Amino acid sequence: MYKVLNSKGLGVAGRQNELIELALTHGFQGVEIDMTDLVGRHDALGKEFACQFLQSANMDIGTFDLAIDFGGTDEEFVASCEKLETIMDLASTLNAKRCRVRIQPNSETVPFQENFDRHRERIEDIGAKFEEHGIRLGLYLQASSAVEADGNYKFIQTAEEILKLVQTVGHANVGLSLDTWEWVVGGGAMDQISDLDLALLSEVILSDVGAEATPGSYTAADRVLPCTGGDAFSLKLCQFLKTKEHVGAISMGTEAHMFSGAPNRHNVVGKFSEMLNKLVEGEDPTFVEEPEVEEGEEAEGAEGEAAETKEAEAKEGDAKEVAASETPAEAPAKA
């Protein structure tokens, strides 16, 4: 699998050199870059400056978010595509192979079917443009951001609906950006993935739903590291992908609260790298195997422990005797 470093919550946004150092140190093949920030660097100081750190480190962009308003009016859509040529040129220069299209779960102005048709047409068009540059589009479910249709229109809010959109678009360059946390929040199950043509997966983002999460009112705090919550969906998915010999981009779905208590960013990224290495092998990343002890060694260990206990008790007795001898005698009572 192609390991990608997602820096969300790490506090290195915009600092390409720091992000690249973290990725290289801990064995990642790609990094997620803020494309809006990259375009800003390009416009302010030129393409060479915008790309210099990534190119000098021989580090690829893993996946980037494509900030296009696919559900807006024609004018809004055209305006959001203003920097499209620059984005595609930068992505090609930096060997980016995937981008992520976040599908909004609600619309303030457009009913479901009209919005669905609008997305299908526009995604097909953009998908064809990106195909010329070898960059794939992955549609990303945002189930956790869904709200009740109160004064607005419901749109893509479930795993079933995002699959329907991917399949209806039907373009070879358009697939599914699978975030396991969002998938479970959106009612997704393993059988939907096992029935899926895995060629449709543009990337896999791993995290699980916390054990204390309340269905129907999920928050970002309910996103936890794989196998540290309730149902370890991420592990089940990785075990399935391993049996299918699936090869693709994989990253950790992160939130800042996951890093609490960590001494520094290097420790966090190192932990993520180790967890991803185990997950792609279908192993529980939280399992720590106890070292095997031979029968003779076990007996010797027990004898050693007993000897240590006796020695500790003897020292404790000696300490008490010393303390007693050093305690001043009580002064005689006055007549």
**DSSP code string of 163-196:** HHHHHHH--TTEEEEEEHHHHHHTT--HHHHHTS
Nearest to 242 by CA among 190, 205, 279: 279
Same domain, 298 and 272: no
Residues of the chain with pLDDT under 70: 13-14, 149, 151, 288-335
Q: How far apart are CA 94 and CA 54, in angstroms?
A: 7
Same domain, 12 and 78: yes
Longest dimension (CA), the chain: 109
> Both tokens of residue 237?
């998915």
Same domain, 309 and 188: no
Looking at residue 126, its pLDDT comes to 96
> Both tokens of residue 172?
């070879």
Same domain, 211 and 259: yes
Residue 331 lies in a domain: no
> Both tokens of residue 234?
């991420």
Looking at residue 296, its pLDDT comes to 57
Nearest to 223 by CA among 112, 142, 327: 142
- Residue 161: which H helix or E strand, with range? helix 159-169
Same domain, 176 and 75: yes
Total of domains in the chain: 2
- Residue 77: which H helix or E strand, with range? helix 74-80
Same domain, 310 and 201: no
List, in sequence order, every residue forming a beta bridge with 224; answer none if it has no partner: 208
Looking at residue 304, its pLDDT comes to 52
Residue 285 lies in a domain: no
How much is the pTM? 0.84
Same domain, 303 and 206: no
Q: How far apart are CA 330 and CA 271, in angstroms?
A: 60
Residue 334 lies in a domain: no
Find all residues with CB under 8 Å of 135, minimum gap 6, and list them: 88, 91, 92, 96, 97, 98, 99
Give the pLDDT confidence of 74-84 residue by residue, as tens digits.
999 999 999 99
Same domain, 241 and 313: no
Domain boundaries, position 137: 2-280
Same domain, 20 and 124: yes
CATH number, domain containing residue 117:
3.20.20.150
Same domain, 204 and 314: no
Same domain, 272 and 178: yes
Give the pLDDT confidence of 245-271 residue by residue, as tens digits.
999 999 999 998 888 777 788 999 999
Same domain, 304 and 223: no
Residue 330 lies in a domain: no
Q: How far apart are CA 202 and CA 192, in angstroms?
A: 16
Q: How far apart are CA 110 and CA 129, in angstroms?
A: 26
